[in-house]
Chain A
Amino acid sequence: DAGVIQSPRHEVTEMGQEVTLRCKPISGHNSLFWYRQTMMRGLELLIYFNNNVPIDDSGMPEDRFSAKMPNASFSTLKIQPSEPRDSAVYFCASRPRSSVGETQYFGPGTRLLVL
């Protein structure tokens, strides 16, 4: 299994630009999570999807952030317009329907730098 796949791995953009992060969960997993990791705030849950439906987006910082999951094998996190304070590592994680220990599996992350 390829694991959770995220792209791009690194993104450098200028303030005001639109940024789209992509995630392909592990095949057969029905839960998907987007997290943001910063030095100041640690790892924060942004949004949780179950069976492609957004269940909890209370962690999405502002209206500039949006996430979609059009099918079971693909999700996007979009920031428009981006700001320097959005610089962070963004992780996608997935979890199967019946997960021993309810464990989730993380992708390698997208390192975003907004100048």
Chain B
Amino acid sequence: GEDVEQSLFLSVREGDSSVINCTYTDSSSTYLYWYKQEPGAGLQLLTYIFSNMDMKQDQRLTVLLNKKDKHLSLRIADTQTGDSAIYFCAETPGGSGTYKYIFGTGTRLKVLA
């Protein structure tokens, strides 16, 4: 069935790189997303990657997609305390035009000063 899996917790020191991993199940997903949720707030879209891409870079964020292994990762360079939040991976099974987004359980990133 449809499932997106993430590890629950990640702790890094300020200034280090963070890598958050995600595995998904639907190879027909057109887009894969990373969202950030800060305490008491909604989900904020960080970035997304089209399924025919291997990598996307956006300032401190690098997304890597391995379609063969259905593995998605988000790398945050020079992690800051403001990056502490829950990060959700999501996919769109069913391809383009879908309204269904399957979200992972979220990875809670804690940045230590």
Contacts and interface: CB of A to CB of B under 8 A. Distances in A.
Given A102-B30, A103-B48, A50 B99 contact: yes
B100 A102 contact: no
Nearest to B88: A43
B103 A55 contact: no
B99 A56 contact: yes
Interface string B21-59: 000000000110101000011111100101000000000
A45 B106 CA distance: 16
B105 interface: yes
A101 interface: yes
Interface in A1-52: 4, 31, 33, 42-43, 45, 48, 50
A73 interface: no
A1 to B, nearest CB: 14
Max count, chain A CB within 10 A of own CB: residue among B35, B50, B99: B99
Contacts of A93: 42-43
Max count, chain B CB within 10 A of own CB: residue among A42, A45, A93: A42
Contact of B99 (A31, A42, A91, A109): A31
Nearest to A100: B48
B92 A102 contact: yes
Nearest to A103: B45
A79 to B, nearest CB: 20
Interface string B70-100: 0000000000000000001000100011111
18 contacts: A4-B42, A33-B99, A42-B103, A42-B106, A43-B103, A45-B100, A45-B101, A93-B42, A101-B33, A102-B96, A102-B97, A103-B33, A104-B101, A105-B45, A106-B42, A106-B43, A106-B44, A108-B40
Interface of A: 4, 31, 33, 42-43, 45, 48, 50, 55-56, 91, 93, 101-109
Interface of B: 30-31, 33, 35, 40-45, 48, 50, 88, 92, 96-101, 103-106
